[in-house]
Chains A and B, each alone.
Chain A
Amino acid sequence: MDTSSPPFAVEVRNVSKSFAGIEVLREVCLNVAHGQTVSVLGPSGSGKSTLLRCINWLEEPDSGEILIAGVRIGVRADGKTHMPDRELARMRARIGMVFQSFNLWPHLSVIENVTEAPIHVLGMAEDEAIGRAEKLLEKVGIGEKRDAYPYVLSGGQKQRVGIARALAMNPEVILFDEPTSALDPELVGEVLAAMRALAEEGMTMVVVTHEMAFAREVSDEIVFIDQGCVVERQAPEAFFDRPQTARARQFLSRYT
């Protein structure tokens, strides 16, 4: 790795966030090193998705700061004024995101979904973008759906297009927001397989998930969140075999 690159791909420092007076995140800290996969676990409503959405500023934290490869997102260098639309967009282009509800663009074919942002955000030449997109679609196993429109795809196929779309931007890190929660059980495996391959290649990933077996197998670190607070942060074996807190034990008991 380049020695000048900052140690962390993502740094979340003391982030708090409330919605309508309800505190969803409380002084949350999270570090994700380059090439690491961190899984964020916790009961529903614990703030996992909000944390993820703060990282690329889809939600604006009330306090705290977030750094992407050492650069603060959402606020200017002076730390006070809002980042202009264009600058924020440029930072987000380096952060991939895969959504629970896929959020493919329905008016674009599969290949167009994957080339849209590289061409129109990164300014990549069309030929190059198409070539790369075809390779990525092959990689996630849906090369034959190249010219289909999203509405004909199954959930698992849609999500794999979503992953290819994120990868096409060559991101610093990819955020996965419950990527398998909207899928039929028999389709979960194909999406997890694509994610597992990415983790093995050294992609930096932050994964909010309820797939415990996957989290245990693929993660470098588990972050357990409950009621807006980071309750535990451990290596996966330690977390699943020897959870330190009663809350984590109680949470895990529901999955065994």
Chain B
Amino acid sequence: MNKWEILWNHREMILGGFKSTLVLFGVSAIAAFLLSSLIVLAIRTGRAPFGRVVRGVVDGMRMLPFLIYAYLLYYGLPSLGIRFDAWTAGFIALITYHAAYFAEILRGTWATLSTGQAEAARAHGFTTFMMYRRIILPQLVLRAAPVLGNQVIICLKDTAFLSIITVRELTAAASAVQSQYFIPFEAFIVAIGLYWLTSMLIEALVARLGFAAERKGLGYKLAAVRR
């Protein structure tokens, strides 16, 4: 049997893995972004000790290798009596880890906004939360779109680590097929192709955000010209 044929015969397993990867990635990226939005609000407007503690946790998270973090949640915590199934541990790892990175991107971008815009929002009667949601956050997303998009792609690729804590996602499926039939090249090429495809979709979305930013004069190109 041809090597590609073997893969074709196992297409359901591979596509099943791919579907799991998409679910892990999609849910985690969205949840991580929402969480990071709240984290940044807490850092910027929270009362003194609270904001600083949140900032510390975010920094600590960013200094951690993702694989060890996933290991810790899945294999480490049971020794403290906390037991998650592989999917739950995977979601928690992806969401909290990438929320820390998203938060750092948003926080840094916020620092570049003029304070006058927030003052104008307050002067026009916005509460802190509404000001953040309507005035600050949309601009952070538009201005940071390329960097956020980059982090989203890293989030996609980090789902592959979860194969090590027994989540049956794309990498695990490709790995299972290749080890059974010893066709590592073909199996991994297919997996890579699917990761690429997803990344290109993400890039296309990011590009649309970039066009929107450009139209509003918030894009990188215009900013560079005006400076």
Contact = CB atoms under 8 A, between A and B. Distances in A.
B139 A149 contact: no
A107 B138 contact: yes
B123 A107 contact: no
B128 A85 contact: yes
Contact of B116 (A86, A92, A96, A103): A103
Given A85-B127, A103-B114, A117-B124, 19 more contacts: A56-B123, A58-B119, A86-B127, A89-B122, A89-B130, A92-B122, A92-B125, A93-B125, A94-B125, A96-B124, A97-B120, A101-B116, A103-B116, A103-B119, A104-B120, A106-B117, A106-B216, A117-B126, A166-B124
A181 to B, nearest CB: 14
A90 to B, nearest CB: 7
A165 B121 CA distance: 11
A89 B129 CA distance: 11
Interface in A114-132: 116-117, 120-122
A116 B134 contact: yes
A97 B118 CA distance: 13
A113 B125 CA distance: 14
A150 B120 CA distance: 14
A58 B125 CA distance: 11
Nearest to A150: B217
A106 B218 contact: yes
B30 interface: no
Sorting the interface of chain B by its residue count into under 10, 10 to 19, 20 to 34 or 35 or more gives 20 to 34
B174 interface: no
Contact of A89 (B117, B119, B125, B138): B125
| Interface-central residue, A92, A105, A149, by most chain B CB under 10 Å | A105
Given A103-B120, A105-B135, A107-B139, A90 B216 contact: no
Interface of A: 56, 58, 85-86, 89-90, 92-97, 99, 101-107, 116-117, 120-122, 149-152, 165-166, 169
B227 interface: no
A120 B134 contact: yes
Interface of B: 114, 116-117, 119-128, 130, 134-135, 138-139, 142, 215-218, 222, 226
A135 to B, nearest CB: 18
Contacts of B138: 107
B122 to A, nearest CB: 6
Given A92-B124, A103-B114, A103-B120, A121 B130 contact: yes
Given A99-B120, A101-B116, A90 B139 contact: no
Contacts of A99: 116, 119-120, 123
Contacts of B124: 92-93, 96-97, 116-117, 121, 165-166, 169
11 contacts: A86-B127, A92-B125, A93-B125, A96-B124, A99-B120, A101-B116, A106-B216, A106-B218, A117-B126, A122-B125, A169-B124
Contacts of A104: 117, 120
A170 B8 CA distance: 67
A117 B123 CA distance: 10
B32 to A, nearest CB: 23
B139 A106 contact: yes
A122 B130 CA distance: 12
Contacts of B218: 106-107, 151
A148 to B, nearest CB: 10
B201 to A, nearest CB: 25
Contact of A97 (B114, B117, B123, B216): B123
Contacts of A102: 116
A126 B218 CA distance: 26
Contacts of A149: 215-217
A19 B218 CA distance: 34
